[in-house]
Structure 1
Amino acid sequence: MFSRCTWSRALALTAVLACASAPATTINQNTSWTLQRPGSSKTFRVVAYGDSLYAGYNGSLFSVAKRAAPLVDGEYLASEWKASVEVVRRARSGARADDVYTNKILAEKSFMQASNTRGVTFEMCGNDYLQARTALTGQRGTCDFGVLDTALAQCTLYTEKAMQAINQYAPSGAFKVVANLYYPGFAADDVPTTCTDTQKKKPVNKRARFLPYLVRSNWRTCHLAEQYGFACADVFAEFMAADTDTNGDGRRDSEALRYVPGESESAYVTRITQTLGATLRDANTHLVDATTSYDYLQSDDVHPTHYSSASISLGFLTGTGSGAGAPDFADTRIVDGKNPQWNAWGHERMGWKLSDVTPGIAPRAATASPRSTAPRTPLP
């Protein structure tokens, strides 16, 4: 999803990693990995379009994390379907929403048009907001918050276009899932801006200014999902609050944050930023119980952590890699729709959520998240 850094390729086997202040560039990081189940006579395809988050960016130009969220999702689906699953990740690290829509979802629509495609998922907009935040961070004098307005407008526009395109090109009956955004750098952004707000005549807290935009964006993503027949994986809720009740309202904080169908945008923004604002936590210290926390973000404070060091190598010129193998977690290790690592890593948590809202898979135990109300797809 996000890419704080940018890259440039040389013709030789070298690459230069540039800092976040450099002009944004993009790089294709595409993979296909087949989760093979012994004795299975069927192989279904799940296609994931996105940026560096779905790519599984791990700091390298020439490899990506094997267990990025789409593959984790595919592993759960393979267990549910009792079939082999090919997880196709068509990702463009560093890409804004318009880029993902144009150069992945549209330009590479053939991947979802395959007759064995059983599902399509996508995420976008992270780089729109990261670049807007970088622009705001570098401002001096009077603050121009228009960069945030532009990011929100572009995200809304291309999220809807992406859903329309997927509805047009994906096979009839394929499930569709969109993921919303977590907030990387939540703790680091708790600082004053270096520019001056025109109304308050002084610097304002950067996080306080940025958070409502991201929350509005997340509401719009899930609201559009309802309109276009997508399930919405509320990654913000899964990453940004504890899995315990820290404010005594009788609900786990992460559960209380979740998008509620039918809630207005203004009510959602008020609930997340004000009513439950004190329960928000940086994803680097995600509390899974009263005493245990896990780091959901890599050292760049942007990309999700991933279980195991296994990676998929990418061709130097093509940016594409592929492979196949048995699932990392056998069916016997998936209990109530969760593997033993489901809440210990960023990609594991996101991949679990993608599967948890997928229409057509078996209902989870009562302790799991409520299932999507989107139309269900028959089991293959």
Structure 2
Amino acid sequence: MTTRFPQFLAALALLTLGAQASANTLTQNVSWTIDRPNTSTKYRVVAYGDSIYAGYNGSITSAAKYSAPTVDAEYLSALWNADIESVRRTKSGAIASDVYNNKIVAERSYMQDSSTRVVTFEMCGNDGLQARTAFKGQSGTCDDSVLTAAENNCKTYVAAAMDYINANAYAGVKLKVISNLHYPGYAADNVQSSCKDPNTGKTVNMQEKFLPSLARINFMMCDTARQKGFKCTDNFAQYMGADYDSNGDGQIDSDALRYVAGETQASYVTRITTTLRSTLRDANTHFVSSSSSYDYIQSDDTHPTYTGATVTAGLFGGTTGTGAPRYTSFSGGKSPVWNQYGHERMGWAVSTYNVATP
């Protein structure tokens, strides 16, 4: 027990430092196998990332069993009629460089296993959160360099991660996917800054400041994926847009917001921040119809909601377990709860790229 005391203090700090939590890290690794009846064939999904893929739920000892990668594993199990092992190698609180160096590179053996068929990753959320905290803490003249640095760091490590996965993943991998960023705290950011714009001398609206930066990051993720043979799960569109046509333009909002392969950054940013801005909604209230909504974000206003049990993940190690699928088939490729929880929505979105055979 004494050998874990420093780790305990670090993990405790993750929960108690509030806004500074993103500067601390907590390893949360899980391996969970969807054990399908009447088959012994097993393939692997490997997911690298931070607290989002970890299924972080505010605990230093547990995480969601069905975070997005394991939700995808359940879809794959039905599609391939096989057992699917969901391997999550994650570190809550990690910035992009940490995910790249200490998970993707240092733990490459998981994607090199001959059973691996899908490799997916997400990163940069903590770079953005730390930059937002730094900007909000400014007084005097606003300094955008913290946001620019987060964008540049994200660009560097997203590209590096894709190159490394392309060079090191098992040759039989059928699908490589990156998940981009939702906007946690969208509604809460609709307030004025303490600092003042250097040109106008006036305070700035936080939401107006952060949305273009996030849009540039999300465009970069999806466009780099297009160039490097990855698919891009557009979580921003899935979380921030309703599942009906709220503005009468003939498109379902969540579809209209999605990245379009080959478009320019300027076109994408304008579409998100101006053209379709009126359709953006805080993911705490994700409308699946004009009269029905679900909460995609936990009470911390950051992490996706989930359903079902938790597993040991964090201070006292990780879980390696097996369980029967919750659903053995999917009508229309969607589970009954595909749009009711943040992790279910993200896992379904990843699954839309699944290939027909392993």
Give the TM-score normalised by the residue count of structure 1: 0.90
2:3 aligned partner: none
Residues of 2 paired with 1:350 and 1:249: CA distance? 25
Q: Deviations over 1:293-315 (max 9, x none)?
A: 0000000000000012x011136
Structure having the higher helix fraction is 2
Residue type of the partner of 1:247?
N
Residues of 1 paired with 2:47 and 2:76: CA distance? 14
Do residues 195 (structure 1) and 195 (structure 2) align? Answer: yes
Do residues 126 (structure 1) and 125 (structure 2) align? Answer: yes
Q: Residue 188 of structure 1: CA displacement?
A: 0.1
Q: 1:343 aligns with which of 331, 339, 346?
A: 339
Residues of 2 paired with 1:262 and 1:173: CA distance? 28
Residues of 1 paired with 2:190 and 2:59: CA distance? 29
Residues of 1 paired with 2:331 and 2:225: CA distance? 28
Q: Residue 227 of structure 1: CA displacement?
A: 0.8
Superposed, 1:295-374 pairs within 5 Å as 295-308=295-308, 310-314=309-313, 316-317=315-316, 319-331=317-329, 334-358=330-354, 360-361=355-356
Q: Deviations over 1:345-369 (max 9, x none)?
A: 00000000000123x13xxxxxxxx
2:269 aligned partner: 269
Q: Residue 38 of structure 1: CA displacement?
A: 1.5
Contact 2:284 2:297 in 1 (8 A): yes
Do residues 206 (structure 1) and 206 (structure 2) align? Answer: yes
Secondary structure (helix, strand or coil) at the match of 2:232 reads: strand
2:171 aligned partner: 172
1:151 aligned partner: 150
Residues of 2 paired with 1:134 and 1:99: CA distance? 19
Residues of 2 paired with 1:168 and 1:90: CA distance? 19
- Change in CA separation of 1:191 and 1:86 when aligned onto 2, cut-off 3 Å: same
Q: Residue 316 of structure 1: CA displacement?
A: 3.7
Residues of 1 paired with 2:273 and 2:88: CA distance? 33
Contact 1:315 1:321 in 2 (8 A): no
Residues of 2 paired with 1:243 and 1:173: CA distance? 35
Secondary structure (helix, strand or coil) at the match of 1:199 reads: coil
CA RMSD of aligned residues (A): 1.4
Identity of matched residues, %: 55
1:90 aligned partner: 89
Q: Deviations over 1:140-160 (max 9, x none)?
A: 111111000000000011000
1:81 aligned partner: 80
Q: Residue 162 of structure 1: CA displacement?
A: 0.4
Residue type of the partner of 2:347?
G
Q: How many residues align?
A: 350
Residues of 2 paired with 1:105 and 1:224: CA distance? 17
Contact 1:179 1:235 in 2 (8 A): yes
Residues of 1 paired with 2:263 and 2:315: CA distance? 47
Residues of 2 paired with 1:56 and 1:218: CA distance? 21
Name stretches of at least 5 consecutive residues in structure 2 with no aligned partner.
1-5
Name stretches of at least 5 consecutive residues in structure 1 with no aligned partner.
1-7, 362-378
